[in-house]
Structure formats: C-alpha cells, structure tokens
Structure 1
Amino acid sequence: MKKNLFLFAFLFYVLSFSQTIKFSPEKLDHLNTFNLENKTRAFIIYQNGKIINEKYFGTKIINKQLFDENSFWYWASAGKSLTAVLIGIAQQENLLNINDPVSKYLGKWTSIDKKDEDKITIKSLLTMSSGLDYIKDEKCITSDCFIYKNPSDTFWYYDTSAYSQLAKVIEKATNKSIDQYTSEKLSGSGISGKWIKNETGLVFTSTAKSFLQFGKLVLNKGKINDKVYYKNDEYFHQMLETSQKMNHSYGYLWWLNGKDKIKLPGIESSFNQSLVPNAPKDMFCALGKNGQILDIVPSQDLIILRMGENPNTFSNMIKFHRELWNKILE
C-alpha cells in the first residue's frame, strides 16, 4: 500500500511539471501589450529550439532612435551570471580555483586583517558571502572602504562592490582584460558585447539576441551549435544549485526558483517563499536592475527575455517579474 502511494505521489509530481507551457497568438499579443505598457525595450520567447516571439518597443534613451535587434542595452546585475560562467571556464583552464583566497590574485585588497581577508575566497564572492560591511562598501572601489562585518561564508548579503572584484581576479588569472577574455572564450557563440565601467564595477551591454544566446548556452549546458564552450562539470552543476545555507535561492551569481526560502537584495531577513511562486520550480534566472530578466526553464526548453527601463507601475522588480509570469500562465 505504501509503495503504491509513493508511486502515485511520484507520478503526480512528474505529471504536474510535464505539461508544456503553450503560447497562443492571443497570449503573445497580451504579453507584448503588457511589456509595451511597462517600458520594455526587448521581449523574446524561445521555446523548443526556436524563437516564437521577438518584439522591440520604444526608442533608445540617448539618441532617441527606434530600439531594434541591433540596439545595445545594459544587462545590469544579470551580467553577474556571465561572470560566473567566465570564472567556471577559467577554472577548467586551471587558471584559478574558486577555493583560493581572493588575495592570491589581488594581493591586499581590503582594509581588514590579513588572516580574515585570506578567508574570503573566490567562492565567497560567487555566493555573496564575503562578510564585508555592505553598508559602508556599497560603492566601494578602493581597499580602505572594504571593512570587516562578519566571518566570510557565514552571512549572505547582495554586495555588488565585493562581487566586482571577480573581474579583477579574472584579469589577473588570465593576464587578459575582461573584455578580451569574454570575447575569446565565447567567440562564435553569438554572445558579444562590451563591459562598461560604472560607479560600482563593470556592467555588460549587448543586443537582446546576444543576451538570448547566453541563455541558450547555459540551457544547453555549455554547447551552442555543437561547439563546446565549457564542460558541464561539478562547478557548472553547483552554479545552478543552492550554494550556501543562508539563501537557498542563490547559486553562483544565479537566482534559483522553487526553493523554500529567499533573501532579496537590500534586505537582511529571509522570506518563506520562492523567487516566482507560480513559475516552474526548475527555473533559474539572471536578473538585473530595472527589470533585466533572463529566465531559463529546462523542463520547458524555454527562455524568457526582457530588457528595458524601470516599469514604474510596480513597487519593485520582484513584483514585476511575478506579474509577468502570472500573465504567461493565464
């Protein structure tokens, strides 16, 4: 009897997530209208190996030209997920090890005691667990503003300034600029763009199609058009799994759906909910300021991409993201 109940529960679980999300012409029109009304510039849906929706809206902010497939836009913090991939590639090339202290590559890079600094590893930065004082180093670019707050790997906080040191690690380990290393390692993938320096570090910019290609690379576990850009080894498996015990919804610079708890940027406390409760549990996301969204759902062979300005009609990007999925699943 128990065996039958277990089998029934297992089959129910499998079937509940095996139904394909379908996009009728009417649903696509509805989604495109929703994005148009919320300052989206590019909205793409890729499913089962092909683009089923590709829409561009509005104008570029600077020169007021129409936004189209050739227009560049910033990834904001979604570029963190690209950094995670580059770190993994560099580790496969034996140029670095994520368990190494950051100081092995950067020397003295904080104002804290060396014994504490040497405990901050590359993995600490990948998991947002450096232990540095996130209040004081919010826009930190020099060593004297990185201040000790907690032992590394004991507290999670979304700290962009600490994360930004990873680009420096890549440059020291590879002896190449971050732009050069990105271009060389992803050559031929369709992923091309430019790292732009801002007040807290580097931001990647590209076309929407380039952003989509990045999603396809990760969805296909390192392959595009039969070319292998990285092997799906332990690092890349762990990249998309809970990376530490403080925030179950965070991997290596990727957001994970379907977990029981989440910590959000700018907040110390946890919430007993998942990132996007209505979305498939196996979804993982590269997310950035003002609603830069790259949602990847392996069980649906699906990528949802949104680039654009802050919608303003929602109090925060989490709510916008969830409302987008409410409309996808209507």
Structure 2
Amino acid sequence: MKTIPFFCLAILIGSISCTSDPAPLEPEREETQIYFPDTDSDVWETTTLDHLGWHQDQLQPLLDYLREKHTKSFIVLYNGKIVIESYMNGHNATLPWYWASAGKTLTSTVTGIAQDHGLIDINNKVSDYLGTGWTSEPLDKENLILCKNLLSMDSGLSDRNGDDVSPDNLVYIADAGDRWAYHNVYVKLQDVVAQAGNQSWSVYFNTNLRDPIGMTGSWISLDNLSVYWSTARSMARFGLLVYAKGKWGNTQIVSEAFLSGATNTSQDINKAYGFLWWLNGKSSYHLPATQIEFSGELIPNAPDDLFAALGKNDQKIYVVPSKKLVIIRMGDSAEGTNFALSDFDYELWAKINAVID
C-alpha cells in the first residue's frame, strides 16, 4: 500500500463555473486526436464528465475542497479539451496570477527551443555564453558547470540565499554533477539564451513560445526574480504543449527529444527531477533546502507517469500522459505555508481520483 510521504521540508517550489459540452465529439475521435484551441482566440472546445464516464457526483466535493484551500483557478483538460474550469475566491478567467517556480519549466522549454535552433548546446559550458567570472568560483571549477547542470539543479553552487543569483552568491560547494540543490541560478539560462540569440529574453520567449501557442502574460519582478504572470488558460496552453510532446497542431514548437529528456530523471542524485520538472513514480526523491534522500514517490496516490511544474503557494501544472490529463491549479497557499509540495497534493489527488476513476 502506498503511504503519504514526508513533505514538511518542501519549499520551492467566489463564483464557480464548470464548462459543459452541449455537443461532444464522437468518442473515437476524442481518443485518438489531441485538440488544440486556436492561437488567435480564447474559444476552447469542451467535453463533459458524463461523456468521459467520470463521476459527476464527486465533482462538487472536489470544487468545495479547492475553494476551502484558497484556490483561485482550476482547469482539467482531457486530450486538450476542457472538462472542468472553475474560478473562485474572487478570481475570474481574465485575471492573471503568478506562476512562481512553476515558471521554471518555461525557462527549460525555451532553452530547448534555443538548442533546437542551433543557438546553444546544453552540454556546453555556461561560460561559453556568459564569459568567465559569472560566478565567484575558481575558473577550473566554474568551467565544470554546463548549461545542463543549471537545468538539473546539480551545478554545485551554493543554495544559500537562493533568490540572489549575483556572482558573489554563486560560490563553490561541490563540483558540478556531484550535489543536487534547489537554487535559482537556473535563471542564468535566460541570459544564455539572450546572449546566444542577440535579443532580450522576453522577446525570444514571446516570439518562440508564448505567441505561437496563443498564450498571454508577461515576466514581472517579484521577490527579486522575474516571475511569469498569466491567466489559468495560458498556463493550460503550455501544459497542453508539453503533453503533446512539443507540438501545437502540426507545428513542432520544441523537439520531442528535448522534452523527453526534460521529463525524465536528469542526474543520479535526485531521481524525481528532470530539467526543472518534478517527476512522480520514482523510488526516491530530494526536496529543496535539504540533502536528505526520501524513499518513495512524490505523490503516492497520483499516476506514476505524472510530471509537474510546482511553484510557491501551490501553483501547479500536472501532466499525466497515461490519463490524457493536464491539470492547472493557481491560488494562494493551500496549507498556509509557501511550500510548493505538501499534503495538499496528496489530498487533491484523492479528490481528483474520485472524479476520474
């Protein structure tokens, strides 16, 4: 029997409306084709719980729980179509909210796009793009740090004062690849992409990811970091892109090969971490702010193939390929802390399972 994991060390990371589909597509088409909403409108096809054989009587307990846990937006996609879309606690569909560390996956994906374009190679040294001296490490140690190490959180740099990514705070703790530690040094990848592309990060991001899939939103300063803000539907568009293995309709936005690497174990220390994505179904995991290895899965009652973008105060993108699901949760902290992973994930999945199983 699966048991609830120990989450207490984890840190980073109103009105209710449910959509219904008056004329659902034939089940055969729904099973075989991923639906993509148009990039130039907010119209989005829907389907119903009844059509999918889900449990309508369990929907209200799920929504009541979400409202109680300070949720603002909640969306469930099945193969791209909206099944559930709810706004509560004073929020609505047009209001943006911050992604917090769930937005790390945007940086990962754009890094993959830049590699697809031949601008960078994640197996190259960070100093190949930023020049030497971007840390306070000795040069021989700094040159061990590859772009891939920033994606994998195993750069070996200090995780103290993780919001400060100035060179003075990027001090040597271990050789790159020898230590996993959650650290906001990943944002240096934005500088790498900007330098290699000879344009600002925001312009490259908007041109190559945001606009081609019809997202809205922008990068706004919050807690000394550039944090992405958007509507829940824009977050859902991004989740759908990743669920579809990097395609939007007939266009490959980011290569399937890069996303496969990003959503599988990226290094030997923390099996539950890819390229800024959290991975379920692994035999052990590490969490931020500790070097302890925990046994078991991140979310034991969630599907083993789930991978997730997780952010402070429970901003979440769950992607579950085996269930054809993308699930979005935005809001304030569910448990009264700033943790990105907590017992809330376990309880939420108990409610979701009651609806879909």
Shorter-chain TM-score range:
0.7 to 0.9
Match of 2:142 in 1: 117
1:241 corresponds to which residue?
264
Contact 2:280 2:303 in 1 (8 A): yes
Letter in 1 for 2:274: G
Find the aligned partners of 2:152 and 2:53 in 1 and give their Cα distance: 34
- Shift in Å at residue 315 of structure 1? 9.1
TM-score (norm 1): 0.87
| Structure 2 CA distance for aligned equivalents of residues 202 and 58 of structure 1 | 26
Contact map agreement 1:78 1:293 (CA 8 A) in 2: yes
Shift in Å at residue 287 of structure 1? 0.7
Q: Which residue of 1 aligns with 2:19?
A: none
SS in 2 for 1:329: helix
Q: 1:128 — aligned with what? A: 153
For residues 31-50 of structure 1, what are the structure 2 equivalents within 5 Å? 31-50=62-81
**261 and 180 in structure 1: CA distance in 2 versus 1, 3 angstrom threshold:** same
**RMSD across aligned positions (CA):** 1.7
Deviation at 1:311, TM superposition (A): 1.7
Counterpart-to-counterpart distance in 2, 1:111 and 1:101: 16
Match of 2:172 among 130, 142, 148: 148
SS at match of 2:93: coil
Q: Which residue type is aligned with residue 58 of structure 2? A: K
2:125 counterpart residue number: 101
More relative contact order in 1 or in 2 (CA 8 Å, sep 6+)? 2
Q: What's the CA shift for 1:227?
A: 2.3
Query: Residue by residue, what CA displacement relative to the aligned partner does 1:145-176 show, whole Å, maximum 9, x if unpaired?
Result: 2111111111101112x112111111111112
* One-letter amino acid of the counterpart of residue 306, structure 1: R
Code of the aligned partner of 1:123 = K
What is the distance in 2 between the residues matched to 1:200 and 1:106? Answer: 21
Q: Which residue of 2 aligns with 1:86?
A: 110
Q: 1:14 corresponds to which residue?
A: none
Show the counterpart of 1:52: 83
- Report percent identity of matched pairs: 39
Given candidates 35, 48, 56, the residue that maps to 1:25 is 56
Given the alignment of the two structures, is residue 191 of structure 1 paired with residue 203 of structure 2, yes or no? no
CA distance in 2, matches of 1:189, 1:96: 23
Q: Distance in 1 between matches of 2:284 and 2:175?
A: 22
Gaps of 5+ in 2: 1-51
1:262 to 256, 279, 285: 285
Please tell me whether the aligned partners of residues 81 and 254 of structure 1 are also in contact (alpha carbons under 8 angstroms).
yes
The whole-number CA distance in structure 2 between the counterparts of 1:322 and 1:265 is 18
Task: Give the distance between the partners of 2:53 and 2:347, measured in 1 at CA.
Answer: 17
Deviation at 1:313, TM superposition (A): 5.4
- Change in 2 beyond 3 A, CA 1:104/1:280: same
Distance (Å, rounded) in 1 between the aligned partners of 2:223 and 2:191: 15
Is the aligned partner of 1:303 residue 2:326?
Answer: yes
Counterpart in the other structure of 1:279: 302
Shift of 1:314: 7.3
SS at match of 2:73: strand
Residue 157 of structure 1 aligns to which amino acid in structure 2? Answer: A
After superposition, what is the alpha-carbon deviation per residue over 1:35-55, rounded to whole angstroms, capped at 9, x for unaligned? 100110001111133111000
CA pair 22-200 structure 1, distance change in 2 beyond 3 A: farther
> CA offsets per residue over residues 196-253 of structure 1, 9 Å max, x none?
22344321111000000000000001112222212212x2211111000100000000
Within-5 A mapping of 1:177-188: 177-186=200-209, 187-188=211-212
In the alignment, the residues of structure 2 paired with residue 151 and residue 122 of structure 1 have an alpha-carbon distance, to the nearest angstrom, of 14
Mapped partners of 2:301, 2:167: distance in 1: 42
Aligned partners of 1:183 and 1:192 also within 8 Å: no
Say which SS state the counterpart of residue 305 (structure 1) adopts. Answer: strand
Aligned residues between the structures: 301
**Structure 1 residues 265 and 31, CA gap change in structure 2 (3 angstroms):** same
